[in-house]
Structure 1
Amino acid sequence: MNLIDVRKNAREKMKGVCAICRECNGVWCRGMVPGMGGAGDGSTMQRNYDKLKDIRIMMKSLHSAKNPKTKYNFLGEVLSSPMMIAPITGLNYNAGGSIKEEDYIDDIINGSIECGTIAMIGDGGNPDFYRWGIEALKKIGGKGVAIIKPRGNSEIIKRIRMAEDVGALAVGVDIDGAGLLVMASMGQPVGPKSIDELKELVDSTDLPFIVKGILSVEEAQIAMEAGVAGIIVSNHGGRVLNGTISSVETLTEIKKVVGDRMVVIADGGVREGVDIIKFLALGADCVLVGRPIIWGSVGGRREGVKLTLETLKNQLYQSMILTGVNNLEEINEKMIFRG
């Protein structure tokens, strides 16, 4: 099995919901929510792709970085590279029935471990989605992160306890899901959180707490004040608010303010290894990968997920050689070219 075969197989199975375009830029699938596209006319998803593509990296080949180190320490867990699988649920309807939710969860949990990294499990309108993710984490000793929708705090804390019971590495809330109408339609209302509500969640557990869906310095500072261990700079893949900015447009400013006081994770359009370099150069400590993982799971199940991650890691390694960096710490903003 190779990546071409995996994506060809996924394209056939996802016909009508995802064309797995040569350029996954959100044009073909715009407005397809549920589905694989961006909200409204898809401009936010398209902006994620375009703004990341506009960033260029300075190539260098006169140096001694012949065997760069890609390992990354995430909250004490050493990963083979600075990438993890994003928390995605609802594959039974978003992927056009091409894969069962339970199968997708099994694929990402085990495929990521086999590649030396971890997955974030998600939450959804169907409570079974989160439960299945927790059960999958239990089988691997909790090596993963549980991300919960912004429900009422009492409901979130119940789910935090489930994550604690299986030994998850961290828990968190994807606050950018606050406006998801599909949650309300399924009797699972969600909404924004005040700083006091966020502090209550952080204080409810000894696990590191992560907030996903930060796009401004102001909210990064609020998260820091609440005592979170990390933030994910993200606009939910362009699937919740049409017309907003991309993560790469605000990432550097956020990192300069929070420094090393929190882990800064980012997502939004990672399609190849050089994209990881771009995000790290802009200030991220690590990245999340979403849509390519879905293609891997649908087209090749666990092996397809592993192959996708290994391909990205190998591309990252090659990109580090061709930019002259020996390790992740040497990746910085000076490598970025804008023009």
Structure 2
Amino acid sequence: MKEVKDKAREMMKGFCRVCKVCDGRACVGEVPGMGGLGTGASFKNNVSALANIRLNMRLLHGVTDPDTTCSVLGYDLDMPVIAAPIGGVSFNMGGAISEEAYADAVVGGSRAAGLIAGVGDGVPPFIHEAGFSAVEKNDGHGIPFIKPWEGDEIEEKFEKARATGCSVYGMDVDAAGLITLRQMGRPVAPKTLAQLKEIVAKIHGWGAKFILKGIMTPDEAKRAVEVGADAIVVSNHGGRVLDHAPGTAEVLSGIAKAVKGDICILVDGGVRDGSDVLKMVALGADAVMVGRPVSVAAMGGLQEGVEKYYAMLKGQLKQAMVLTGSADIKSITDRVLFK
């Protein structure tokens, strides 16, 4: 992984520093880019919220080879991890590799690791085209995320996503804060419950499932259940749309208390290693989405880099499970958290 990161640093020079600790401090305000909006507080809060959670170490047990597998949204995963839908990394990071090569690395690397990747949407069109193409190449094994466009574009994008053969679709409503898109003449906007119900009904009519990404409060989590979504992603869009938002780890347990069992709960934001995955599951997530680290791995090593990152992540998760006495994913509860 050191070689992969060194290569990524070279490939993204001038756009991402590939810091030893990806915590948002060096890239404050660099949007577009890898940074957080404004003061970067939301990005930094994601990382610090996880870092401030401590774990109970337990070693008087028989757990030596924990089972990391789980089932999420009909997918059997090697661990509770999904690649977050980040598009335009090649476009925004200097173009050292093509967007197609980047998307293929993330989607193909995730599939090879027994996982699944989300693919992003955006402007210019080749961003979503590269992601959708990668999903299609992998026999529909990927999750297209569509931005909350205004007008006919949202319908057109879902139809294009359908052609990939996927069985799960997402919408990152948290992208409604991306003012750069409106400045480009491609506005995005929040969605009413009526609008979301219509979208969910369409997706369910295709025999597929729907993820609503960008939930940060218990009341909106309940609304996601109300509109019929199959899953939510607790997310502040990587700290890139609203400054001074809390870290996702700060709000996750409250959201889980409100809707656990009624809807699948995913979360992203600041997940960097296997201990972070364990913490998020203990707080109530069914699985976590990992963004920037997967992007760095893809830029620095293409599919092999992505697979190496996942192998490292799984090793860290298994170690954390052994040291907290967690035999499998279902046994990871808040008992592992020091309070």
TM-score interval w.r.t. the shorter chain?
over 0.9
Structure 1, unmatched stretches of 5+, are none
Work out the percentage of aligned pairs sharing the same amino acid.
42
2:61 — aligned with what? Answer: 63
1:300 aligns with 2:301: yes
Match among 53, 71, 84 for residue 73 of structure 1: 71
**Partners of 2:283 and 2:334 within 8 A in 1:** yes
Q: Matched residue of 2:266: which SS?
A: strand
> Is 1:30 equivalent to 2:28 in the alignment?
yes
Offset at residue 89 of structure 1 (A):
1.1
Shift of residue 16, structure 1, vs aligned partner: 2.1
Letter in 2 for 1:57: L
Counterpart in 2 of 1:253?
Answer: 254
User: For this pair of structures, how many residues does the alignment match?
Assistant: 336
2:245 corresponding residue in structure 1: 244
Q: 2:270 is aligned with what amino acid? A: G
Per-residue CA deviations over 1:148-191 (Å, capped at 9, x if unaligned) read 00013642232222232322121121000002122123332100
SS in 2 for 1:64: coil
1:196 maps to a residue whose letter is A
In structure 1, what is the equivalent of residue 209 of structure 2? 208
In the TM superposition, 1:177-216 aligns within 5 A as 177-206=175-204, 207-216=208-217
CA distance in 1, matches of 2:286, 2:32: 31
Quote the residue 2:145 is aligned against: 147
Which residue does 1:265 correspond to in 2?
A: 266
User: For the Cα contact (< 8 Å) 1:125–1:182, is it kept in 2?
Assistant: no
Check conservation: 1:34, 1:93, Cα contact below 8 A. Answer: no
| Structure 2 equivalent of residue 99 of structure 1 | 97
Residue type at the aligned position of 1:208: K
Match of 2:291 in 1: 290
Question: Which whole-Å CA distance do the structure 1 matches of 2:220 and 2:20 have between them?
Answer: 35
Give the Å deviation of 1:246: 1.2
One-letter amino acid of the counterpart of residue 276, structure 1:
V
Q: Report the TM-score when normalising by structure 2.
A: 0.96
> Any conservation in 1 of the 2:49–2:248 contact (CA below 8 Å)?
no
Runs ≥4 residues deviating over 3 A: none
Report if aligned partners of 2:48, 2:247 keep a CA contact under 8 Å in 1. no
1:111-190 correspondence runs (5 A)? 111-152=109-150, 154-190=152-188
Whether the 8 Å contact between 1:35 and 1:93 is mirrored in structure 2 is: no
Instruction: Check whether the contact 2:100–2:134 (CA below 8 A) recurs between aligned residues.
Output: no
Deviations 1:121-146 (A, max 9, x none): 11002222212222211121101111
Q: Secondary structure at the match of 2:214?
A: strand
Q: Which residue of 2 aligns with 1:88?
A: 86
**TM-score normalised to structure 1 length:** 0.96
Amino acid at match of 2:237: H
In structure 2, the partner of 1:316 is 317
Please tell me whether the aligned partners of residues 51 and 246 of structure 1 are also in contact (alpha carbons under 8 angstroms).
yes
Alpha-carbon distance in structure 1 between the residues aligned to 2:44 and 2:131: 30
Query: Contact (CA 8 Å) 2:260, 2:284: kept in 1 or not?
Result: no
Would the alpha carbon gap of residues 263 and 153 (structure 1) be closer, same or farther in structure 2, given more than 3 Å must change?
Answer: farther
State the 1:47 CA deviation.
Answer: 0.9
CA RMSD of aligned residues (A): 1.3
Alignment partners' CA distance in 2, 1:167 and 1:122: 16
Structure 2: stretches of 5+ with no match in the other structure: none
In structure 1, which of residues 27, 40, 44 is the aligned counterpart of residue 42 of structure 2? 44
Letter aligned with residue 125 of structure 1: V
- Superimposed CA distance per residue, residues 206-262 of structure 1 (whole angstroms, 9 cap, x where no aligned partner): 211110000001110111100000000000000111111111111111111112111
Shift, 1:322, TM fit: 1.0
Match of 1:6 in 2: 4
Structure 2 Cα separation of the partners of residues 66 and 326 of structure 1: 8
**2:281 aligned residue:** 280
